[in-house]
Amino acid sequence: MNIVVTPPKASEAQAASDRVASDSLPLKDAREQVMRETGTIPTGERAGSRKVYVAGELFPDIRVPFREVAVHPSANEPPVTLYDSSGPYTDPTVAIDIKRGLPLVKSSWQLDRGDIAPVLNPRDVRPEDNGHASGKHLAPRFDTSRHKVFRGAPGRPVTQLEYARAGIITPEMEYVAIRENLRREQGVGDGVWGVEGPRHVTLADGSTVPLPHTPPPTPHTPRDGEPFGAEIPDFVTPEFVRSEIARGRAIIPHNINHPEVEPMIIGRNFLVKINANIGNSAVLSSVDDEVDKLVWATRWGADNVMDLSTGRNIHNIRDWIIRNASVPIGTVPIYQALEKVGGVAEDLTWEVYRDTLIEQAEQGVDYFTIHAGVRLPFVPLTANRVTGIVSRGGSIMAKWCLSHHKESFLYEHFEDICDIMRAYDVSFSLGDGLRPGCIADANDEAQFAELRTLGELTKVAWDHGCQVMIEGPGHVPMHKIKANMDEQLKHCHEAPFYTLGPLTTDIAPGYDHITSAIGAAMIGWFGTAMLCYVTPKEHLGLPDRQDVKDGVITYKIAAHAADLAKGHPAARLHDDALSRARFEFRWEDQFNLGLDPETARKYHDATLPKEAHKTAHFCSMCGPKFCSMKISQDIRRDAQAQNDAGGSLAEAEAEAGMAEMSAKFRAGGGEIEVKV
């Protein structure tokens, strides 16, 4: 375990110097530098921004994080508030110690009200949990002595769905409501929580309190979008969050054994979220690598992280990931279950799988991908496909079904699975095991037969009080994306849908993140709540930190594009702020308001590195004489000067003047003179 935590650079000047040095390194030295940086955890605020928190009103101990970007004083604009999933890693007041894990966000929210109780005899770690690794092949254990294991108390609500159905607003619900609003209410009204409907709300401790504020006025930014039936409010209230969860249209994935996590919400009527994939492989594994990718992914904007580990050391590495994760962590439990039986699919049993669910639930995994929709009758439907079954979990269960000629034990024991997941508030990700592996197989009967089954299982899970989201397909050409979303909404009763990045074409090896993002933006626009990226290396090799970054940034763009298309007011405010910065040549504001300030600044430095260049009214491509925005500014200034002088022509005079100038232009041979 060699991972180290690095404080932020002393100054931006030093950072610029470091960038130049790095860019000038020979290839061999540059590669060695990257290797040295792997396992280095960054801390400190992102460039040009600061970490800010908003307290709760219903629950005053809540501290909801944001990234605040102060723009140049010349803009005469307030700071821009951005969604922040980076956790305490970007809080300069928090001392990060990877070996101890992150501070606890919600250690007492449920314990104080008696809804959970300690597990007296938590499950012990067994050799098979780590693939029987030993000696130098065994990854170091995280010190879990401070991690207490809980489960739901008998007769008490446990899951966010159970609270919501009971009319109860939890701290998690107010937390995500504040988070979704991005402090927009501060500029338009007295408060956030006023809504049409109930004037009182019920809290998780059973008390009833009045709504603290009057309704805010309509936001200044008009709606401009096509939501395709989504019902995005001007402002998100805790009551709106509660009602969406109660209807099954949103989830807060938040295992009671993951108190380090900052609550977030996944749903059609909220900001589109993105998921980042990490995880050791059967080929290569390291605690340093995976924690490194986890932290960097959240720093770049990942809202959730899937630990897709295979091979050895799955349990030990997952401990390091969860205890240092400020975002929800998901897994596919059947991967680890398969390792426990030596990788032989037909040797899997319900008992092994059940034990794996309990193991991961006690660790703190927030959502499980369960491929219970892969049923025996559906497997032959894939026989004539171009690419067969590409889902790892789907192929494992398909092989088990055919080997035993039995119905899937996941399907037959689904209610037992529900009971386990409810006890810890682990959310369902109902897996799309028969999803297409190429565009030729998209939207076939195998895929839709499983989708209809997932709809049936959704109702079963809801009946057991479990939160549910539905995993969607990859490899869907553009003309079939809308139909896919419509089928999900119809058969799965509007449960949140998330997609594995529908690649709109299969001709882009090495650039799958681009073709995937095209589809992701579209399906997010049509109603998908979370986008799960495909990285450049994902189908070719093992993703590293840079690969994760490419995937995260690409999908953040896709998610933002979807929010804009749906008419989400917060998305438009962010976009417009950057547009104004670009037109006014506020280069530093452009960098800092972007998704990746560091890369934006690096590209500008490559040709205009001097400090004076950061206020120049041109870029290196156009130069000072051919900049369209500079010309536009001149036109605007001249027009304003004319208006200020009272210079306005009557319509007839204007037409006469334009006719005169047109004739003069033609008489001169139609040549354009540009004065420089």
pLDDT at 30 over 80: no
Given a contact cutoff of 8 angstroms between Cβ atoms, the answer to whether 275 and 530 are in contact is: yes
Please give the pLDDT value at position 583.
80
Q: What is the pLDDT of residues 46-101, one digit of tens each?
A: 888 999 999 999 999 999 999 999 999 998 999 999 999 999 999 999 999 999 99
Residue at 348: amino acid letter: L
Summarize the confidence of residues 282-304 as an average pLDDT: 87
Burial of 442 (0-12, 13-18, 19+ CB in 10 A): buried
Q: Which of 184-193, 441-450, 649-658: highest mean pLDDT?
A: 441-450
Q: Residue 12: in which H helix or E strand, if any?
A: helix 12-23
Please give the pLDDT value at position 288.
87
Q: Which of 528, 479, 524 is nearest to 505 (CA)?
A: 479
Retrieve residue 579's tokens: 């547009």
Please give the pLDDT value at position 62.
93
Average pLDDT, the chain: 86
Q: What is the pLDDT of residues 541-593, one digit of tens each?
A: 777 888 889 999 999 999 999 999 999 988 999 999 998 998 888 888 989 99
Quickly state the pLDDT bin for 615 (edges 50, 70, 90): low
Quickly state the pLDDT bin for 159 (edges 50, 70, 90): very high
Partners of 130 in the beta sheet? none
Please give the pLDDT value at position 629.
60
Summarize the confidence of residues 424-434 as an average pLDDT: 96
Taking the C-alpha atoms of residue 601 and residue 609, their distance in angstroms, rounded to an integer, is 9
Please give the pLDDT value at position 501.
82
Taking the C-alpha atoms of residue 463 and residue 160, their distance in angstroms, rounded to an integer, is 13
Retrieve residue 130's tokens: 């780590």
> Rounded to 5 degrees, what angle do the CA atoms 483, 487, 493 make?
145
Please give the pLDDT value at position 611.
72
Please give the pLDDT value at position 658.
67
Summarize the confidence of residues 346-367 as an average pLDDT: 98
Please give the pLDDT value at position 316.
95
* Stronger pLDDT, 644 or 170, i.e. the higher one: 170
* Stronger pLDDT, 658 or 545, i.e. the higher one: 545
Q: Which of 511, 434, 419, 524 is nearest to 473 (CA)?
A: 434
Query: pTM (2 decimals)?
Result: 0.86
Quickly state the pLDDT bin for 32 (edges 50, 70, 90): low
